[in-house]
Amino acid sequence: MNSQIRFLMCAPEHYDVDYVINPWMEGNIHKSSQDRAKEQWQNLYQILKSNAIVDLVKPEKGWPDMVFTANAGLVLGDNVVLSRFLHKERQGEEPYFKKWFEEKGYSVYELPKDLPFEGAGDALLDREGRWLWAGYGFRSELDSHPYLAKWLDIEVLSLRLIDERFYHLDTCFCPLANGYLLYYPGAFDSYSNRLIEMRVAPEKRIAIAEADAVNFACNTVNIDHIVVMNKASEILKARLGEAGFLVLETPLTEFLKAGGAAKCLTLRVTEPVQEDLHANIYVESRIIRLEGHLLDSGLINRALDLIIDKGGSFQVLNFDLGEQRQSTSSAEVRISAPHHDVMEEILSLLIDLGAVNLPEDERDAKLEPVILHGVAPDDFYVSTIYPTEVRINGEWIKVQNQRMDGAIAISQTSDGLLARCKVLRDLEVGERVVVDTQGIRTIRKPESREKRNTEEFSFMSAGVSSERRVELIVEQVAWELRKIRDAGGRVVVTAGPVVIHTGGGEHLSRLIREGYVQALLGGNAIAVHDMEQSMLGTSLGVDMKRGVSVRGGHRHHLKVINTVRRYGSIAKAVEAGVVKSGVMYECVKNNIPFSLAGSIRDDGPLPDTQMDLIKAQAEYAELIRGAEMILMFSSMLHSIGVGNMTPAGVKMVCVDINPAVVTKLSDRGSIESTGVVTDVGLFLSLLIQQLDKLTSPYRVKATK
């Protein structure tokens, strides 16, 4: 009997399952037996009474869950933080518990209204008193944790619960004597699991299986070497035995129907204070502002979901709903995260969505030097396709060479500071690189309401289109192509060999010949099969007129490669009259630059194929510069590569029969990119027809 330890319990006089506020209660309304509940509670009470002291609080009619005294509050020394229940079904218990604590002489701390915290159900002291584990995710709000640290003067470690069945920390987590921890890892997110592993040595961690977890094996009352629980498997009993614990099982099935067991039915009201330990809290908060068509573009949902998904929490402080159809709305959101690292991750994703820190919170970007050529400092900010600015010495500087997945390098030039996106390998010693997320903002064009609503005209609004809308998109692409060409603008095409296999070669050739294309990006294959078609009439050995394989056709492409190699380059083969038509022919004849990036599977390769991929990336980047529109035809790798190099604002149309490729591209989230799932040969032929209609409306030329 340990007379140092006291528990608070509440007899099940008025206990019942009256409502549903957790998954255990579902289907159990009024299904628990009063008599059995009383008997089970008595058994637990007797066990605890013979091992410690048990106080009782008077049960109140109309508050059936009051038996779960773990949720009365959190005690440490003479202080108690009173619970603020999330659900109104339990809020009425608060005054009764408050009265009990006050009568016993505790100093009672009360959280602000609307800041839920459910007491020792969600906050468990390390049994050595070294720190407090605090849960959030379902019942208690992350923002309550800093109050616990302050009022109880203790280090608080926040753990995020992610499995609804384990909605309170004490349903899946139980610190035991001698530094042991009984817990169910599946109930926590990966960040929390890492935190647990950092604090508790492997030999002290008793991780249980789901089968034990759903019997509430973690909902255990620990008195010295005794652990009292509803039920445990033989394996778990053995494991606890090895660690020096004696398991006392006492069935609490009637309380399981309400989502509680041994530990929930008790509150330890004697928790000694460790005088030499003090408050420490890792929870951080920041305020950001979001602007745009927040509701109808779904931006606000995306932002708030992202905060929760990544383990944070939020409070919308202001929401200014634009009143006119065309006006934008704005929201100020307070974000909390359990740790600096989590906050940084959330903020960098929010910055991608266009969020900005509030002016009061504006600080210069953090810079760190490059120490090793081609290597960024840890925590470097990863750039996106959106126009970005960084704040240095109080001024916002626009970042040059915007691209995705680069680092932002700052260098001093004679004209002042220069901020540029650079790929890692190009970082030079002496440059400084932006790290973390402070002092960075991206500028996003508001997604317009019309484009979202009238699906038909959602070219230029990110999305994937299926067959049904191909013709509409073709009309829009044709219109844009003509406009750009007539204004002397720049259109770049990336294309894979499928363009040739599907009979699109002649159409692409025409686009080039008629001045709609200013650069061509591809690989070895498109050039090979294009010239194979021109020289031998096949593409990958298939006769392009009859659609059947020709005998020995699989060797055709190698013959072509060999011939071109003999001439030294594609241009020379064209000049020599060996290649008389096709995509490559038109490029050479019309002085359209092209870049062919090599790959591990290339045969030959053609003399023009750039097998040094770093050089190939540079060639691509050079040809993309200044493009207003990029057409991507059936080439996953080249298209995605190009997507990464291209800043937002460039219209991109990705055509592929494979929806995965198209989705991948439109995942850039740029409002100017669109995807079309269709046969590329068909798309090109429709495009040519449409261009013909636009240029000579009364005479639809037959394509040759």
Using the rule CB under 6 A, which residue among 15, 73, 84, 90 binds ligand ARG?
A: 90
Span from 259-267, 357-365, 499-507, 513-521 in contact with ligand ARG (CB under 6 A): 259-267
Active-site pick, 264, 421, 587, 654:
264
**Rule CB under 6 A: is residue 121 a binding residue for ligand ARG?**
yes
Q: In angstroms, how far apart are the furthest CA atoms of the chain? A: 103
Residue 258 or residue 691: which is nearer to ligand ARG going by CB? 258
In the structure encoding, which two tokens stand for residue 205, read together? 């961690």
Note whether 132 and 279 are within 8 A (CB): no
- Buried/exposed code over 141-168 (b: 16+ C-beta within 10 A; e: otherwise): bbbbbbbbbebbbbbbbbbbbebebbbb
- 174 belongs to the binding site for ligand ARG (CB under 6 A): no
Q: Which of 388, 331, 395, 327 is nearest to 358 (CA)?
A: 331
Among the listed residues 145, 168, 293, 501, the single catalytic one is 168
Distance CA 217, CA 206 (A): 11
Q: For ligand ARG, which residue has the nearest CB?
A: 121
Could you tell me which stretch among 29-37, 256-264, 523-531, 601-609 binds ligand ARG (CB under 6 A)?
256-264
Total residues at interface with ligand ARG (CB under 6 A) = 15
Active site residue 264: yes
Whole-number minimum distance, CB 130 to ligand ARG, in Å?
Answer: 22
Structure tokens, 663: 């989705």
Is residue 70 a contact residue for ligand ARG (CB under 6 A)? yes
Nearer to ligand ARG, 55 or 153 (CB): 55
Of 40, 51, 71, 635, the residue at the interface with ligand ARG (CB under 6 A) is 71
For residue 332, the 8-state DSSP code is E
Q: Which position among 10, 12, 63, 65 is part of the footprint of ligand ARG (CB under 6 A)?
A: 65
Mapped onto helix, strand or coil, the DSSP state of residue 553 is: helix
| Pure H helices in 487-555 | 498-501, 505-513, 524-536
Six token digits for residue 535: 């020289």
Site string for ligand ARG, 7-46 (x = CB under 6 A): --------------xx------------------------
* Cα 577 from Cα 594, distance rounded (Å): 19
- Catalytic site includes residue 654: no
Pairing between β-strand 284-292 and β-strand 538-539 as defined by DSSP bridges: unpaired
Residue closer to ligand ARG, measured from CB, 51 or 71: 71
Whose Cβ is closer to ligand ARG: residue 32's or residue 437's?
32
CB of 141 to ligand ARG, least distance (A): 15
| Cβ-based nearer residue to ligand ARG, 263 or 557 | 263
Query: Contacting ligand ARG (CB under 6 A), which of 135, 259, 312, 643?
Result: 259
* Contact (Cβ atoms closer than 8 angstroms) between residue 610 and residue 598: yes
Name which of residues 647 to 666 contact ligand ARG (CB under 6 A): none
| Type and span of the H or E element at 653 | strand 651-656
Our CB check for ligand ARG shows the closer of 218 and 686 to be 218
Interface residue with ligand ARG, options 73, 260, 292, 354 (CB under 6 A): 260
- Picking from 340, 337, 339, 397, the residue whose alpha carbon sits closest to that of residue 367 is 397
Instruction: List the one residue from 170, 436, 447, 586 that touches ligand ARG (CB under 6 A).
Output: 170
342 in the Ramachandran plot: left (φ > 0), alpha (ψ -120 to 50) or beta?
alpha
Question: Is residue 258 a contact point for ligand ARG (CB under 6 A)?
Answer: yes
Judge whether 629 and 511 are in contact, CB under 8 Å: no
**What are the phi and psi torsion angles at 314 (to 5°)?**
-145, 165
Residues that bind ligand ARG (CB under 6 A): 21-22, 65, 68, 70-71, 90, 121, 168, 170-171, 258-260, 264
Question: Which residues does the annotation mark as catalytic?
Answer: 168, 264
